[in-house]
Amino acid sequence: MAVEQLEKFTVTIDGIPVQVEPGTSILNAARQIGGDIVPPAMCYYSTLEGSGGKCRTCLVKVSKGSEKDPRPMPKLVASCRTNVMDGMEVQNITSTEVLDARKSIVEMLLINHPLDCPVCDQAGECKLQDLSYEHGVEQTRYEFERRTFERIDIGDKIQLHMNRCILCYRCVYVANQLTEGRQHGVMYRGDHAEISTFIEKAVDNDFIGNVIDVCPVGALTDKTFRFKSRVWFTKPVDAHRDCPTCSGQVTLWYKGEEVLRVTGRKDEYNEVHDFICNTCRFDKKRTSDWVLDEPTKLDKESVITANHYNTFQPIPVIKNNPELQEANEEQLARTERLK
Protein backbone atom coordinates (compact mmCIF):
# COMPACT_ATOMS: atom_id res chain seq x y z
CA MET A 1 0.00 0.00 0.00
CA ALA A 2 1.47 3.31 -1.00
CA VAL A 3 1.78 5.80 1.80
CA GLU A 4 1.02 9.23 0.50
CA GLN A 5 4.06 11.44 0.90
CA LEU A 6 3.68 14.99 2.08
CA GLU A 7 4.67 17.44 -0.59
CA LYS A 8 8.29 18.47 0.02
CA PHE A 9 9.44 22.06 0.25
CA THR A 10 12.29 23.39 -1.81
CA VAL A 11 14.57 25.80 -0.04
CA THR A 12 17.69 27.37 -1.46
CA ILE A 13 20.58 28.09 0.89
CA ASP A 14 23.52 30.08 -0.43
CA GLY A 15 22.35 29.19 -3.91
CA ILE A 16 22.15 25.45 -3.23
CA PRO A 17 18.64 24.00 -3.48
CA VAL A 18 17.44 21.17 -1.24
CA GLN A 19 14.10 19.43 -0.78
CA VAL A 20 12.98 18.94 2.78
CA GLU A 21 9.91 17.87 4.73
CA PRO A 22 7.57 20.67 5.78
CA GLY A 23 8.32 21.63 9.37
CA THR A 24 12.09 21.40 8.85
CA SER A 25 14.10 24.28 10.24
CA ILE A 26 16.44 26.25 8.02
CA LEU A 27 19.35 24.90 10.07
CA ASN A 28 18.35 21.28 9.54
CA ALA A 29 17.77 21.94 5.86
CA ALA A 30 21.31 23.33 5.69
CA ARG A 31 22.61 20.25 7.51
CA GLN A 32 21.03 18.13 4.79
CA ILE A 33 23.19 20.02 2.30
CA GLY A 34 26.23 19.98 4.57
CA GLY A 35 29.57 21.73 4.29
CA ASP A 36 30.50 25.34 4.90
CA ILE A 37 26.99 26.64 4.38
CA VAL A 38 25.75 25.02 7.61
CA PRO A 39 25.29 27.74 10.24
CA PRO A 40 27.05 27.11 13.55
CA ALA A 41 24.78 26.34 16.50
CA MET A 42 25.81 26.73 20.11
CA CYS A 43 22.47 26.30 21.89
CA TYR A 44 20.29 24.29 19.51
CA TYR A 45 20.43 20.54 20.07
CA SER A 46 18.23 18.43 17.85
CA THR A 47 17.45 15.83 20.52
CA LEU A 48 16.43 18.37 23.15
CA GLU A 49 12.96 19.73 22.59
CA GLY A 50 12.61 23.49 22.86
CA SER A 51 16.34 24.14 22.61
CA GLY A 52 17.73 26.83 20.37
CA GLY A 53 17.08 30.46 19.55
CA LYS A 54 19.25 31.86 22.32
CA CYS A 55 22.88 32.05 21.26
CA ARG A 56 22.13 33.78 17.93
CA THR A 57 25.19 32.31 16.19
CA CYS A 58 23.00 30.60 13.61
CA LEU A 59 21.41 33.83 12.38
CA VAL A 60 20.79 33.84 8.65
CA LYS A 61 19.15 36.14 6.16
CA VAL A 62 15.90 35.12 4.51
CA SER A 63 16.09 37.00 1.24
CA LYS A 64 12.87 35.48 -0.08
CA GLY A 65 10.16 34.35 2.31
CA SER A 66 8.45 31.79 0.10
CA GLU A 67 7.04 31.26 -3.35
CA LYS A 68 3.66 32.55 -2.17
CA ASP A 69 5.00 35.52 -0.24
CA PRO A 70 8.41 36.40 -1.65
CA ARG A 71 9.01 39.34 0.68
CA PRO A 72 12.32 39.06 2.53
CA MET A 73 12.21 38.83 6.33
CA PRO A 74 13.00 42.20 7.88
CA LYS A 75 15.62 40.95 10.33
CA LEU A 76 18.11 38.13 10.43
CA VAL A 77 16.46 35.03 11.87
CA ALA A 78 17.66 32.19 14.07
CA SER A 79 17.91 29.37 11.52
CA CYS A 80 17.44 26.73 14.23
CA ARG A 81 14.01 28.04 15.14
CA THR A 82 12.70 29.25 11.80
CA ASN A 83 11.00 26.72 9.59
CA VAL A 84 11.44 26.64 5.85
CA MET A 85 8.67 27.61 3.46
CA ASP A 86 8.36 26.36 -0.07
CA GLY A 87 10.48 28.49 -2.33
CA MET A 88 12.35 30.16 0.50
CA GLU A 89 15.77 31.58 -0.25
CA VAL A 90 18.31 31.86 2.53
CA GLN A 91 21.72 33.45 2.66
CA ASN A 92 24.32 32.36 5.12
CA ILE A 93 27.94 32.72 4.04
CA THR A 94 26.84 34.60 0.95
CA SER A 95 25.54 37.49 3.03
CA THR A 96 27.96 40.05 4.40
CA GLU A 97 25.28 41.09 6.85
CA VAL A 98 25.09 37.58 8.30
CA LEU A 99 28.85 37.18 8.55
CA ASP A 100 29.14 40.55 10.17
CA ALA A 101 26.45 39.75 12.72
CA ARG A 102 27.99 36.34 13.44
CA LYS A 103 31.37 37.87 14.08
CA SER A 104 29.78 40.24 16.54
CA ILE A 105 27.92 37.43 18.31
CA VAL A 106 31.17 35.51 18.71
CA GLU A 107 32.73 38.64 20.17
CA MET A 108 29.85 38.97 22.63
CA LEU A 109 30.11 35.31 23.66
CA LEU A 110 33.80 35.74 24.32
CA ILE A 111 33.91 39.00 26.28
CA ASN A 112 33.23 37.26 29.56
CA HIS A 113 34.63 33.87 28.65
CA PRO A 114 37.92 33.10 30.39
CA LEU A 115 41.00 32.48 28.28
CA ASP A 116 41.79 29.30 30.17
CA CYS A 117 41.75 26.89 27.23
CA PRO A 118 45.22 25.60 28.19
CA VAL A 119 43.82 24.24 31.45
CA CYS A 120 40.31 23.46 30.26
CA ASP A 121 39.36 19.82 29.77
CA GLN A 122 37.05 20.78 26.92
CA ALA A 123 39.86 22.18 24.78
CA GLY A 124 40.00 20.35 21.48
CA GLU A 125 36.34 19.48 21.49
CA CYS A 126 34.98 22.85 22.55
CA LYS A 127 32.40 24.33 20.23
CA LEU A 128 33.19 27.85 21.35
CA GLN A 129 36.82 27.28 20.47
CA ASP A 130 35.78 26.09 17.01
CA LEU A 131 33.34 28.95 16.65
CA SER A 132 35.83 31.63 17.54
CA TYR A 133 38.47 30.05 15.36
CA GLU A 134 36.15 29.84 12.39
CA HIS A 135 34.06 32.96 12.76
CA GLY A 136 35.70 35.28 15.22
CA VAL A 137 38.30 37.98 15.06
CA GLU A 138 41.69 37.57 16.65
CA GLN A 139 41.68 40.56 18.96
CA THR A 140 39.18 41.44 21.64
CA ARG A 141 37.98 44.98 22.06
CA TYR A 142 36.79 44.28 25.59
CA GLU A 143 38.93 46.01 28.18
CA PHE A 144 37.12 45.25 31.38
CA GLU A 145 37.35 42.62 34.04
CA ARG A 146 35.60 39.41 33.16
CA ARG A 147 32.68 38.14 35.15
CA THR A 148 33.75 35.40 37.54
CA PHE A 149 32.05 32.77 39.64
CA GLU A 150 33.32 30.18 42.06
CA ARG A 151 33.83 26.71 40.71
CA ILE A 152 31.48 24.21 42.29
CA ASP A 153 30.84 20.51 42.26
CA ILE A 154 27.32 19.54 41.49
CA GLY A 155 27.46 15.99 42.65
CA ASP A 156 30.66 14.01 43.02
CA LYS A 157 31.12 13.36 39.30
CA ILE A 158 30.27 16.67 37.65
CA GLN A 159 32.04 19.96 38.00
CA LEU A 160 30.40 23.28 37.14
CA HIS A 161 32.75 25.96 35.98
CA MET A 162 30.28 28.80 35.54
CA ASN A 163 32.89 31.25 34.21
CA ARG A 164 32.92 29.27 30.98
CA CYS A 165 29.16 28.95 30.59
CA ILE A 166 27.47 30.63 27.62
CA LEU A 167 23.95 30.03 28.96
CA CYS A 168 22.78 27.77 26.16
CA TYR A 169 20.25 26.17 28.53
CA ARG A 170 20.94 22.71 27.06
CA CYS A 171 21.74 21.21 30.47
CA VAL A 172 18.45 22.54 31.78
CA TYR A 173 16.60 20.80 28.95
CA VAL A 174 18.50 17.58 29.72
CA ALA A 175 17.40 17.73 33.34
CA ASN A 176 13.83 18.52 32.31
CA GLN A 177 13.55 15.89 29.63
CA LEU A 178 15.73 13.02 30.81
CA THR A 179 15.45 13.12 34.58
CA GLU A 180 12.63 13.19 37.05
CA GLY A 181 12.73 16.35 39.07
CA ARG A 182 15.17 18.88 37.81
CA GLN A 183 17.55 20.06 40.54
CA HIS A 184 19.54 22.74 38.79
CA GLY A 185 18.49 25.67 36.68
CA VAL A 186 19.23 29.24 35.69
CA MET A 187 19.27 31.66 38.60
CA TYR A 188 19.21 35.46 38.54
CA ARG A 189 19.07 37.26 35.23
CA GLY A 190 20.89 39.34 32.64
CA ASP A 191 24.66 39.07 32.81
CA HIS A 192 24.31 37.80 36.37
CA ALA A 193 22.38 34.78 35.20
CA GLU A 194 24.03 31.53 36.19
CA ILE A 195 23.52 27.81 36.15
CA SER A 196 23.17 26.68 39.72
CA THR A 197 21.46 24.42 42.19
CA PHE A 198 21.02 27.56 44.31
CA ILE A 199 21.53 25.57 47.49
CA GLU A 200 24.32 23.14 48.29
CA LYS A 201 22.93 20.00 46.87
CA ALA A 202 24.26 17.14 44.82
CA VAL A 203 22.47 16.77 41.53
CA ASP A 204 21.66 13.13 41.50
CA ASN A 205 19.88 11.20 38.82
CA ASP A 206 20.64 8.27 36.55
CA PHE A 207 20.78 10.44 33.45
CA ILE A 208 22.17 13.70 34.76
CA GLY A 209 25.65 12.89 33.42
CA ASN A 210 24.35 13.81 29.97
CA VAL A 211 24.68 17.49 30.89
CA ILE A 212 28.40 16.94 30.30
CA ASP A 213 27.85 15.69 26.75
CA VAL A 214 25.49 18.48 25.74
CA CYS A 215 27.57 21.31 27.20
CA PRO A 216 29.14 23.08 24.21
CA VAL A 217 31.94 24.50 26.36
CA GLY A 218 33.91 23.44 29.41
CA ALA A 219 31.32 24.58 31.94
CA LEU A 220 30.17 21.08 32.84
CA THR A 221 32.93 18.52 32.82
CA ASP A 222 33.42 14.96 33.93
CA LYS A 223 35.32 14.95 37.21
CA THR A 224 36.47 11.38 36.63
CA PHE A 225 38.30 12.61 33.53
CA ARG A 226 39.59 15.84 35.04
CA PHE A 227 43.14 16.65 33.92
CA LYS A 228 43.69 13.02 32.86
CA SER A 229 44.59 13.87 29.28
CA ARG A 230 44.09 16.30 26.44
CA VAL A 231 41.40 14.84 24.23
CA TRP A 232 43.63 14.71 21.17
CA PHE A 233 45.86 12.22 22.95
CA THR A 234 42.95 9.84 23.44
CA LYS A 235 41.54 7.31 20.99
CA PRO A 236 37.76 7.08 20.77
CA VAL A 237 36.22 3.67 20.20
CA ASP A 238 32.53 2.92 19.86
CA ALA A 239 31.34 0.20 22.19
CA HIS A 240 28.16 -1.16 23.72
CA ARG A 241 26.97 -3.20 26.63
CA ASP A 242 23.69 -4.67 27.66
CA CYS A 243 22.56 -1.98 30.06
CA PRO A 244 19.27 -2.28 31.94
CA THR A 245 18.92 1.52 32.17
CA CYS A 246 19.98 2.95 28.83
CA SER A 247 20.85 1.90 25.30
CA GLY A 248 24.42 1.20 26.34
CA GLN A 249 25.68 2.71 23.07
CA VAL A 250 28.77 4.72 24.01
CA THR A 251 32.15 5.97 22.96
CA LEU A 252 35.13 4.85 25.08
CA TRP A 253 38.07 7.24 25.15
CA TYR A 254 41.28 5.25 25.43
CA LYS A 255 44.77 6.29 26.33
CA GLY A 256 46.87 3.24 25.81
CA GLU A 257 45.01 0.37 27.44
CA GLU A 258 43.13 2.58 29.83
CA VAL A 259 39.59 3.86 29.36
CA LEU A 260 39.82 7.45 30.58
CA ARG A 261 36.21 8.36 30.04
CA VAL A 262 32.93 7.24 28.58
CA THR A 263 30.59 9.51 26.63
CA GLY A 264 27.50 9.21 24.50
CA ARG A 265 28.07 8.76 20.77
CA LYS A 266 28.19 12.10 19.03
CA ASP A 267 27.27 12.76 15.43
CA GLU A 268 29.05 15.18 13.13
CA TYR A 269 27.20 18.09 14.74
CA ASN A 270 28.34 16.93 18.14
CA GLU A 271 24.90 15.73 19.13
CA VAL A 272 24.12 12.59 21.10
CA HIS A 273 21.05 10.70 19.95
CA ASP A 274 21.09 7.90 22.51
CA PHE A 275 21.62 9.42 25.91
CA ILE A 276 23.46 7.16 28.33
CA CYS A 277 23.08 6.48 32.03
CA ASN A 278 25.47 7.45 34.78
CA THR A 279 26.48 3.85 35.42
CA CYS A 280 27.74 3.45 31.86
CA ARG A 281 29.39 6.84 31.97
CA PHE A 282 31.10 6.84 35.32
CA ASP A 283 31.31 3.28 36.58
CA LYS A 284 32.21 1.12 33.59
CA LYS A 285 35.78 1.95 32.80
CA ARG A 286 37.23 -1.44 32.10
CA THR A 287 37.42 -2.80 28.58
CA SER A 288 35.90 -6.01 29.94
CA ASP A 289 32.70 -4.10 30.73
CA TRP A 290 32.15 -3.53 27.02
CA VAL A 291 31.78 -5.08 23.63
CA LEU A 292 33.95 -3.02 21.30
CA ASP A 293 32.39 -2.11 17.95
CA GLU A 294 34.86 -0.06 15.93
CA PRO A 295 37.00 3.04 16.16
CA THR A 296 34.76 6.08 16.31
CA LYS A 297 34.35 7.68 12.90
CA LEU A 298 35.85 11.09 13.16
CA ASP A 299 36.10 13.72 10.55
CA LYS A 300 39.57 13.10 9.19
CA GLU A 301 40.39 16.73 9.75
CA SER A 302 39.08 16.87 13.29
CA VAL A 303 41.42 18.26 15.89
CA ILE A 304 41.06 15.02 17.79
CA THR A 305 42.73 13.01 15.05
CA ALA A 306 44.76 15.44 13.04
CA ASN A 307 45.51 18.22 15.46
CA HIS A 308 44.23 20.95 13.22
CA TYR A 309 41.00 22.51 12.11
CA ASN A 310 38.87 22.13 9.05
CA THR A 311 39.89 24.34 6.22
CA PHE A 312 37.37 26.57 4.64
CA GLN A 313 36.36 25.59 1.14
CA PRO A 314 34.63 28.60 -0.30
CA ILE A 315 31.76 27.98 -2.63
CA PRO A 316 32.31 29.51 -6.10
CA VAL A 317 30.07 32.52 -5.55
CA ILE A 318 32.42 33.72 -2.81
CA LYS A 319 35.53 33.30 -4.95
CA ASN A 320 34.04 35.62 -7.54
CA ASN A 321 32.70 38.32 -5.26
CA PRO A 322 35.17 40.76 -3.68
CA GLU A 323 32.65 41.91 -1.04
CA LEU A 324 32.01 38.35 0.13
CA GLN A 325 35.71 37.62 0.03
CA GLU A 326 36.25 40.48 2.39
CA ALA A 327 33.49 39.30 4.70
CA ASN A 328 35.03 35.81 4.73
CA GLU A 329 38.51 37.28 5.12
CA GLU A 330 39.50 35.47 8.31
CA GLN A 331 38.21 32.14 7.08
CA LEU A 332 40.11 32.42 3.82
CA ALA A 333 43.29 33.58 5.53
CA ARG A 334 43.28 30.53 7.77
CA THR A 335 42.89 28.22 4.82
CA GLU A 336 46.00 29.83 3.34
CA ARG A 337 47.95 29.41 6.57
CA LEU A 338 46.95 25.79 6.98
CA LYS A 339 47.96 24.81 3.46
Partner 1 sequence: MLSVKENLIVNFSAELLKSFTEIVSRYPEGKQKSALLPILHLVQEEYGWVSTDAMDKVASFLSIQPVEVYEVASFYTMYFLEPRGKYNLEVCRTGPCCLVGAERIMKYIEDKLGVKEGEVTEDGLFSWRGVECSAACGYGPVLQIGPEYTYYENLTEEKVDQLISELKQKVQNT
Partner 2 sequence: MARKLLLTHIDVPGINTLEVYRQKGGYRAVEKALKSMSPDDVLEEVKKSGLRGRGGAGFPTGMKWSFLAKPEGVARYLVCNADESEPGTFKDRYLMTHIPHALIEGMIVSSYALGTATSYIYVRGEMMPQIRILEQAIAEAKNAGLLGKNILGSGYDLEIFVHPGGGAYICGEETALLESLEGKRGNPRIKPPFPAVSGLYGCPTVVNNVESIASVVPIINDGGDEYAKIGIGRSTGTKLISAGGNLRKPGVYEIELGLPVEEFIYSDEYCGGIADGKRLKAVVAGGSSVPILPANLILKTSTGESRLMSYESLAEGGFETGTMMGSGGFIAFDEDQCIVRNTYNFTRFYRHESCGQCSPCREGTGWMEKILYNIEHGQASPQDIDLLWDIQRNIEGNTICPLGDAAAWPVAAAIRHFRDEFEWHINNPQEAQTKNFGLAHYADPLAPLAE
Binding interface with partner 2 (CB under 8 A): 52-57, 59, 75-76, 78, 81, 101, 104-105, 107-109, 111-112, 141-142, 144, 166-167, 169, 186, 188-193
The one segment of 13-21, 48-56, 179-187, 246-254 that binds partner 1 by CB under 8 A: 179-187
Q: Does 145 bind partner 1 (CB under 8 A)?
A: no
- 181's contact among partner 1, partner 2, none, with CB below 5 to 8 A by partner kind, is partner 1
Please pick, from the candidates 130, 194, 213, 222, the single residue that binds partner 1 as defined by CB under 8 A. 194
- Specify whether the backbone of 248 is left (phi greater than 0), alpha (psi in -120 to 50) or beta: left
The distance of closest approach from Cβ of residue 313 to partner 2 in the complex, given in angstroms and rounded to an integer, is: 27
The distance of closest approach from Cβ of residue 307 to partner 1 in the complex, given in angstroms and rounded to an integer, is: 36
The distance of closest approach from Cβ of residue 154 to partner 1 in the complex, given in angstroms and rounded to an integer, is: 10
Q: Does 156 bind partner 1 (CB under 8 A)?
A: no
Q: Does 196 bind partner 1 (CB under 8 A)?
A: yes
- 59's contact among partner 2, partner 1, none, with CB below 5 to 8 A by partner kind, is partner 2
The distance of closest approach from Cβ of residue 165 to partner 2 in the complex, given in angstroms and rounded to an integer, is: 11
Please pick, from the candidates 199, 227, 288, 336, the single residue that binds partner 1 as defined by CB under 8 A. 199
The distance of closest approach from Cβ of residue 152 to partner 1 in the complex, given in angstroms and rounded to an integer, is: 7
The distance of closest approach from Cβ of residue 148 to partner 1 in the complex, given in angstroms and rounded to an integer, is: 10
For helices 96-111 and 127-135, give the axis angle rounded to 10 degrees: 130
Number of residues that bind partner 1 (CB under 8 A): 19
- 101's contact among partner 2, partner 1, none, with CB below 5 to 8 A by partner kind, is partner 2
**Is residue 199 within 8 Å of residue 185, measured between CB atoms?**
no
The distance of closest approach from Cβ of residue 45 to partner 2 in the complex, given in angstroms and rounded to an integer, is: 14
Q: Does 54 bind partner 1 (CB under 8 A)?
A: no
Could you give the CA distance from residue 337 to residue 329 in angstroms, rounded to a whole number? 12
Q: Does 197 bind partner 1 (CB under 8 A)?
A: yes
Query: Which residue ranges make up the site for partner 1 (CB under 8 A)?
Result: 149-150, 152, 162, 181-189, 194, 196-200
